[in-house]
Chains A and B, each alone.
Chain A
Amino acid sequence: MEITELLEIVTVSRHFDAFVALDKVSLHIEAGEFFTLLGPSGCGKTTLLRLIAGFDQPDGGDILLDGKSILAAPPERRPLHTIFQNYALFPHMTVAENIAFPLRMAGIAKKEIQARVAKALEDVRLPDKASHYPDALSGGQKQRIAIARALVNRPRLLLLDEPLSALDAKLREQMQIELINLQKDIGITFVYVTHDQGEALALSHRIAVMDSGKIVQVDVPERLYGFPNSRFVADFIGKCNLLAGRVREQHGDSVIVELDGLGPVHVCRSEAKFAAGSRCALTLRLEKIRIAAAIVNPTDDESHFTGHVHDLLYLGDVTVYIVTLANGLLLEALLANSASGRTNFFEVGDQVEVAWSCDAGHLVLD
C-alpha cells in the first residue's frame, strides 16, 4: 500500500486560559499538496501552523509526519520550514549568509553550501543580491529570499503564514503565480495560512475553512465555492446572496423550498437530504442570477421575480446591482460591462426582472 499521506493532524486542541483556539481539529494533508488553512482572524489557523512548526505544544491530540508523531521533536528537528509573515530574515547576515544558515546548521560542507546558495539565488532570480543585507531589499525581494532560505535544504513540508499580506495588490498577484509555479516545480507540500479567500481559491489544491477553532469544511476550491456546507462558508468564500426559507418537500435531488417572503422555488441537483419543514438558506452567487429589463424566454426550471434597482456599485469590469424585490428583500446580482461606449445597463430606480435556474442555487441548513 502506498502512503501518500504526509501530515496528519489528529484531534488537536489548544486552549489559552479560557479561550479555545483549537477544538479537536483533525486534518489529512497529502504529499505534494498545496493545502490552505483559511479563516477570519482568531479562527485558530495560525495557532495550528505554530503547532505543526513546533513553536507551541497542543493540549491534546497528535501531529504525525509520515505516520510518526513529531510532537516530541523541537522545531529544529522537524523536517519542515516556515515562511513568516514579516519574512524574519536575519538583519545581521547578508542574503547569502541567510540562505546558507539552514545548510550550516545541518553541518553541510562549506564548498557544497556555496554551490547550493548560488543555485538558490539563481532560482529566485536574485544572484546579484548575495552580499546585500536584508534592509537593502524591497518587499518582494525579501519574500523571495525567505522562500529561497526555507527551501534550500529541501524540507518535507513548507509552512507559509500569510506570506503575501505585506505586499501591495499588484505584486501580490505576481507572487501568487510564482508560488503556484514554484510549488508545482519542486513538488514540496505547502501548508498555507491566509484570511484572504480570493488568495486561497487561486492558490490551493484543497482548502480547510476554519471558524472559532474548528474546521468547517475541507474541499477543493471549486466545490467550496459552488457547494458550501454552511451559511458561514457560503458567506466567507466569495460574495453570495443568502435567502432564508423552509424545505417543503424533496424528491430525489429535487427540492421545493418556501423562501421567506418570496414563495416556493425549485432547487435541483441537491446532494444533501433535507427533512420536510427544516429551516434552510438558499445560497445564490451573484454571477448566477440573470438580470434584465424583462426576462426573455423564461424556462420552467427558472425562478423569477420582479424588482427595482435599489443601488449599484460600478466596479469597472462589472457592475453589482442591488435589487429590491416586491417584498423588500434585497438581492445582489452582477452584469459584466461588456458593451463599449456605455457603463451601466440600469440606473437606480429602474424596474428589472431577476431569474435563476434551479441548479444555480445551493441549499444549506440554517
Chain B
Amino acid sequence: MQRKNVLLWISAALVYLFLYLPLVLVVVFSFNDSRLNAEWVGFTWKWYGKLFHNQEMLTAAMNSLIIAGVSAAVATVLGTLAGLAMEQSRLRLLQMLVLAPIAMPEILMGVSLLVLFIMVNMTLGLLSIMLAHITFCIGFVALAVQARISSMDPGLVEAARDLGASPWRCFREITLPLLMPGILAGALMAFTLSIDDFVITFFTAGVGSSTLPLQIYSMVKIAVTPEVNAVSTLLMLLTLVVITVASRLSPTVFRGE
C-alpha cells in the first residue's frame, strides 16, 4: 500500500514536470540577462522594457485585445441566447449545432472560414478574425450558461410570474441575475480562447493585421529570443488570471455537461 502510494506520487510528479517545466523555463529565461536560452546569467527586466518599445509587438497586442474584447462580447450575447434555447428546446439537433464548433478541428474551421470569406469577397483583417473567433466562442459560452441553467430551480421563474412579473421582467429580474456567474465565466473563457488562438487566426488574418500569437510565431521563425519569452510570459499571466476568475465565478463550467 505504502509502496504503491510512493510510486503514484513519483509518476504524478513526473507528469506535472513534463507539463509545466517548459512553461517554467519560458518564464525563467524571460528574466535572463542573456540573448541565448542556454544558461542563467543574471536577472533583468530589460526584455520586458524592450517589448514596450517594439512597435510591431504593441500593435499586435492592441489588435489581440480589441479582437478578444469584441469577440467575447458578441459571443457572450449570442452564446447566452443559445444556452437558453438549448435548455428550453427539446431538439437535440440544436445542441449539436451549437456545440459542434468546439469539437471541430481548428484547422478545418480555419480553412472553411477562409474559403467563406474569400467567396463573399471579404477583405481579410480584424473584422474577419473577429467573426471567426465569435464563431468558435459561442459554443463555449453556451455550455457555461447551460450548466448554470440546469442547476437553477425552474420554480423560481414560475414564482416570479405568479407574483406579477411579465415574461420580460422575469427574465431581467430573475433569470439573468441568476445566470450572471455562468455568463461572466463564459465571457472570460471566450476572451482567453480568442486572445490565445493561433490556428484559426492564422487562416483568417490576411496580411496587414497581426495578433500577439501570430507575432510570436513570426518571431520564433527566426529564433526564440528572450523577447518572445517575455511576451509569452505576459500572455500566460493574463490567461491564468482570467481563467482563475472564471472558475471562481462558475465552478461547474470546467466540469463540462
Contacts and interface: CB of A to CB of B under 8 A. Distances in A.
Contact of B159 (A88, A92, A106): A88
B177 A92 contact: yes
B183 to A, nearest CB: 14
B160 interface: yes
B169 interface: yes
B177 A76 contact: no
Interface in B57-71: none
B51 interface: no
Nearest to B165: A105
Contacts of A91: 156, 178
A150 B163 contact: yes
B163 A86 contact: no
Interface in B130-171: 153, 155-156, 158-167, 169
B161 A90 contact: no
Given A88-B153, A88-B155, A82 B160 contact: no
A355 to B, nearest CB: 52
A314 interface: no
A138 B164 CA distance: 26
A90 B178 CA distance: 9
Given A53-B162, A54-B162, A150-B163, 12 more contacts: A74-B161, A76-B164, A76-B165, A76-B166, A81-B162, A81-B163, A88-B159, A90-B160, A92-B178, A101-B164, A101-B165, A105-B165
A101 B158 contact: no
A198 B201 CA distance: 69
A149 B163 contact: yes
Contacts of B161: 54-55, 74-76
B77 interface: no
B158 A102 contact: no
Range class of the B interface residue count? 10 to 19
A45 B162 CA distance: 18
Contacts of B158: 53, 55, 75, 82, 84, 88
Contacts of B160: 90, 101
Interface residues of A, number: 21
Interface of A: 53-55, 74-76, 81-82, 84, 86, 88, 90-92, 101-102, 105-106, 149-150, 153
Contacts of B165: 76, 101, 105
Contact of A101 (B153, B155, B163): B163
24 contacts: A53-B158, A54-B161, A55-B158, A74-B167, A75-B158, A75-B162, A76-B161, A76-B163, A76-B166, A81-B163, A82-B158, A84-B155, A84-B159, A88-B159, A91-B178, A92-B177, A101-B164, A101-B165, A101-B173, A102-B163, A102-B164, A105-B165, A106-B164, A150-B163
A13 to B, nearest CB: 22
Contacts of B155: 84, 86, 88
B88 to A, nearest CB: 15
B108 to A, nearest CB: 41
B153 to A, nearest CB: 7
Contacts of B163: 76, 81, 101-102, 105, 149-150
B250 to A, nearest CB: 15
B28 interface: no
B144 to A, nearest CB: 18
B178 A76 contact: no
B174 interface: yes
Contact of B156 (A82, A90, A149, A153): A90
Contacts of A101: 160, 163-165, 173
A355 B191 CA distance: 83
A101 B169 CA distance: 11
Nearest to A106: B164
Contacts of A55: 158, 161-162
The CB with the most chain B CB atoms within 10 A, among A84, A102, A105, A153, is that of: A105
Nearest to A55: B158
Contacts of A75: 158, 161-162
